[in-house]
Amino acid sequence: MRNLPQTVIQESLVEPQVIEAFARDAQAIVGADQISVNPADLLANSRDYWPVNNIWMIEGALPALPQLVAWPGSADEVSALLRLADKLKIPVTPYGEGSGALGGAIPLKGGISLDLKRMNRLLEIDEESLLATVESGLNGALYEESLNRAGYTGGHIPQSLSCSSVGGWLACRAAGQFSTRYGKIEDIAVSLQAVLPDGTIFSGRSVPRAATGPRLDHLFIGSEGIFGVITSATLRIWPLPEKRHLASYTFADLKGALECVRLIMRSGARPAVVRLYDAQETGNHFPELGDQRCVLILLIEGAEKIVAAEAEVIKELALAAGAIDSGPDHVEHWLEKRFNISVASMLFQKGAVLDTIEVSTNWHNAHNTYLAMQNALLAVEGTILASGHYSHVYPDGAGLYMTTVGFPGANKLKFYKEIWQAAMEACLAQGTAISHHHGIGLHRGLWMREEHGSGMEVLEKVKKALDPEGIMNPGKLGLGEVGLWQK
Amino acid sequence: MAEVNMEQLLNCALCPNMCRCDCPVLQALGREKVAPAGKARFAAMYKQNHLELDSEVIEAIANCLGCRGCTVRCPFPELNLCDELLFARTPDKEGRQGHLASWEPYLANLKKYSSPYGQKSFAGGRADRGADILYFNGCTALANHPQSLAAVEKLFQKAGVSYQLINEDCCGYPAETWGDPELARSLAAENYRKFVESGAKILVTSCPECWLVFTERYSGWGFGLPLEIMAAPSYFLGLVNDGLLKPSAIGQRTLSYHDPCIWARSAKITQEPRQLLKSIPGVNIKEPLAAGEQTHCCGGGRMFQLSFPKTAEAIARRRLAEFPSGAAIVTACPFCREGLSQDNQTVLDLLELLAESCTK
Ligand SMILES: Cc1cc2nc3c(=O)[nH]c(=O)nc-3n(C[C@H](O)[C@H](O)[C@H](O)COP(=O)(O)OP(=O)(O)OC[C@H]3O[C@@H](n4cnc5c(N)ncnc54)[C@H](O)[C@@H]3O)c2cc1C
Ligand code: SF4
Ligand code: SF4
């Protein structure tokens, strides 16, 4: 193809003859039609949903291109491909469905984009032990729909359900909207199969608990492709709930509402969905409630009697905290609108820069983190909105999800970097974890050392042991020389 | 033709592919370049002079069935992605865009025979001059399932309804699909002339793609049709409801209806075919996964069976896996019928089944 768009953060490329050598041998592994150097394929696998990619796309640029895309069909094929790439020292970036929000799937150093989409089978449903074994490239909505048809749910419903893969969930330590009852993906996953750069196929065992040394499966959950490629997993499933109860309450202030939510968790009630919005988001998402109060959305599901008891306990606690019962309709509204992200595309077109920044906080910091992040974001010149909601709630704390929008004029990237710097500094100062579920990818690598301290050395040592040539997703998770892309 | 609504195209290009699970081409091929927003990104970057088109990119963009599966979850009600992508297959003045070389033979057939299938579609036949009803069969059914016309004629005759048939030219949809809008217009002009000359008041067609182009394109091409356009399932249901057709039992049958995407999502015809089936005594209906407006394309949309036969076959196989076992598949579109007839699978035609039950 003539005139490929310019790449903005390509750190390096592999010598073309090395790629050619890989292609020759890879054909024998996966078949000639399962690898491509066709520019249309390279362009398509050049990006994910890191908002910067949208800014660049409007300007006519791309982050970085792979030099070859490969579509393996089995763990054995992944193993052979990785061994070959390792021998030739070619970078490999796993690619699920490209919905990652932090640039994780961008092939920063060229090489191979290893696309898992062909590995998309639901292999087994074990109805007795409530487990499903699934290949990592399966689309989330197709997975959930297959389970639903059999009378089950996977309990993992992220907003990106329809545009993300099971492997992507595991790689990013994702969270679904129903995580208070069903857990995040690290709670849902029982075991997984992953392939290391030297071709070793690790297969975890799907037993409920075991005192057989460290559970190595967990090494790969959240590893974002830097240790190897997740090829399949066994996940917990649940029978479709017998009963669903919807409830909402409004509170005069966020702090009081948060305290009530903490007490709900402490009571032992486990609604599936617990979402607490600040006053501004209450007004934006539920205009009929106005923008002076904070709404708490609850969805409780499971066996009818348990649901009724939980609903009662929650109601008592909410009313005791001075909340107003605002009924089920707002939850219906949320259920209807929860996948609609049209406003993002429209704002990008209008020249806005926007992002969502999710962090994980214990209860004692939950409100302060919100205030600190909001203040920090609003202090950046160009910001017009910094609002938040607690999107996932646990007995020990909550996931806080901040949304920020700005109209910075010409230098969008500069503004983007500033809002992130401000938000991450505020978050770290509170002792809050820098991500709750989007993960680290490329961008958040900048703050990984502050997040982990000496823990980063351990991560580096594990990386060195599993991937001595450093071929797996280089430049991600804060390893290597971070921030080159910023220059 | 093929004007682009840049705002809508960009809305899509900036979307994280929220509909990717509903795109049959993406699901069958597993290639990121044919993802709905992926295609929109190519198209948008080209339109903004950031990317040049070559045959590989055009092929990726053209990998769209026009099935509107992506509209099911799409948050932009105004966006019709398949139409926004059409421009790329149509050569512009500078010759920067255009059809793929592999489509040439079909365009040549259209020019020579007024049908993509290398044979004249239909030469007249029985016609009651002056009848209010004009029936349009479409070239795909005539080429692949010529018996379908005989079944429809039996239904008209049984109901005692006068009808006309014309010497059909291709409706223009395939020519548009293969990037020759001039040819599409000239075919439309011929059909328009014949429709008007017939004096008929109602144009009934059993082909969803003909229906779509008559209802959504002809007036834009300058041929606003002075007839009511009716989908055959709705029209014949009317005859059953009016008591003019009386289906009788053809044995105990369990049937599963495949909703053709245009009938279901564009014409919103999902109940009529089921009511027709239920009007046949002894018929029991079992739904496939993805029924009604949620249907999945058979792989035959936008002439894929000719343009991209391997992809069409792969999509059909995925669709077939969604049908319940022990039920015979029935549909109401010549492309679906052809596409789903894989691996000796029998696919029944709604109107042929009705004709069988009404003429027993
Ligand atoms: C609109 C929208 C809403 C979102 N909502 C949520 C939400 O509610 N909850 C949530 O947790 N996230 C959410 N996300 C973020 C994103 O969807 C998740 O991070 C998702 O898990 C990524 O999956 P993917 O298949 O798209 O992965 P990709 O973007 O393709 O990849 C993500 C990272 O994982 C690696 N990777 C992918 N597959 C594998 C594999 N098989 N083995 C090893 N590494 C792999 C990639 O190399 C990359 O580093 C949202 C994103 C969008 C755009
Ligand atoms: S068609 Fe709609 S849902 Fe699909 S990618 Fe485009 S904007 Fe998103
Ligand atoms: S119209 Fe059908 S084939 Fe085309 S992008 Fe939409 S879902 Fe895919």
pLDDT digits (tens, 9 = 90+) for B174-183: 999 999 999 9
CB atoms closer than 10 angstroms to residue A106: 34
Q: Would you call B33 and A3 a contact, using CB atoms and an 8 Å cutoff?
A: no
Question: Do B38 and B128 belong to one domain?
Answer: no
- Chain B residues whose beta carbon lies within 8 Å of the beta carbon of residue A145: 289
Q: Are residues B231 and B247 in the same domain?
A: no
List the structure tokens of B3: 């004007």
The H or E element containing residue A132 is strand A131-135
* pLDDT on residue B126: 63
* In contact, A334 and A296? CB cutoff 8 Å: no
Query: What's the whole-number mean pLDDT along residues B272-283?
Result: 97
Beta-strand ranges (E) seen in B46-178 are: 133-136, 163-165
CB B162 within 8 A of CB B199: no
How many of the other CB atoms lie within 10 Å of CB of A210? 10
Per residue in B159-209, pLDDT (tens digit) is 999 999 999 999 999 999 999 999 999 999 999 999 999 999 999 999 999
Q: Which residues 135-194 of A have a C-beta within 8 angstroms of B?
A: 137, 139-142, 145, 149, 160, 162-163
Give all domains of chain A, ordered by start, each with its CATH number: 6-117 (3.30.43.10), 122-239 (3.30.465.10), 243-337 (3.30.70.3450), 342-452 (3.30.300.330)
> Cβ distance B142 to B170 under 8 Å?
no
Rounded to 5 degrees, φ, ψ at B140 are -70, -45
> What's the pLDDT score for residue B328?
95
CB atoms within 10 A of CB A457: 11
Domain annotation covers residue B1: no
Distances (CA, A) of B245 to A380, B203, B239, B302: 73, 19, 6, 33
Q: CB of A30 within 8 Å of any CB in chain B?
A: no
Q: Residues B220, B302: one domain? A: no
Nearest chain A residue to B18 by CA: give it: A163
A to B CB pairs, distance under 8 Å: 119
In this prediction, residue A121 carries a pLDDT of 97
- Residue B228, strand partner residues: B202
Atom 6, ligand 2: which residue's CA is nearest? B12
Same domain, B193 and B215: yes
Query: Mean pLDDT throughout B103-120?
Result: 91
Is B87 part of a structural domain of the chain?
A: yes
Q: Is the pLDDT of residue B93 over 90?
A: no
Residues 6+ apart with CB under 8 A from B271: none
B225 and B119 share one domain: yes
On whether both B42 and B77 belong to a single domain, the answer is: yes
Dihedrals phi, psi of A428, to nearest 5 degrees: -65, -35
pLDDT, position B122? 66
Q: Which of B186, B208, B239 is the last residue of a domain?
A: B239
The answer to whether A41 contacts B21, with C-beta atoms less than 8 Å apart, is no
Q: What is the largest CA-CA distance in chain A?
A: 71
Provide, as residue numbers in chain A, all residues whose Cβ is less than 8 Å from the Cβ of B30. 71, 115, 117-118, 120, 137
| Contact B3 CB / ligand 2 (< 6 Å) | no
Q: In this structure, is the dihedral angle defined by the CA atoms of residues A64, A67, A73 and A78, taken in order, positive or negative? A: negative
Q: What is the distance between the alpha carbons of residues A350 and A344, in angstroms, rounded to a whole number?
A: 10
Nearest to A311 by CA among A291, A290, A331: A331
Please report which ligand is nearest the Cα atom of B64.
3
ipTM of this predicted complex?
A: 0.96
Which pTM does this prediction carry? Answer: 0.96
CB count within 10 Å of CB B323 equals 19
Q: What's the pLDDT at A462?
A: 98
* Residue A316 Ramachandran class (φ > 0 left, ψ -120 to 50 alpha, else beta): alpha
Q: Please return the burial class of B212, using the count of CB atoms within 10 Å of its CB with bins 0-12, 13-18 and 19+.
A: buried
pLDDT score of B130: 85
Which is nearest to B82 in space by CA: B43, B55, B46?
A: B43
Do B184 and B120 belong to one domain?
yes
Burial category of A456 from C-beta neighbours within 10 Å (exposed 0-12, middle 13-18, buried 19 and up): middle
Q: Which of B272, B278, B335, B343 is nearest to B117 (CA)?
A: B335
Which residues of chain A fall short of a pLDDT of 70? Answer: 1-3
| Whether residues B225 and B282 fall in one domain | no
Q: Which of B7, B32, B45 sits opposite A115 (nearest CB)?
A: B32
Q: What total number of domains does chain B contain?
A: 3
Range of the domain at B287: 243-358
Band of the pLDDT at B2, cuts 50, 70, 90? low
B124 pLDDT band, cuts 50/70/90, is low
Considering the domain boundaries, does residue B192 fall inside one?
yes
Is A390 within 8 Å of A261 (Cβ atoms)? yes
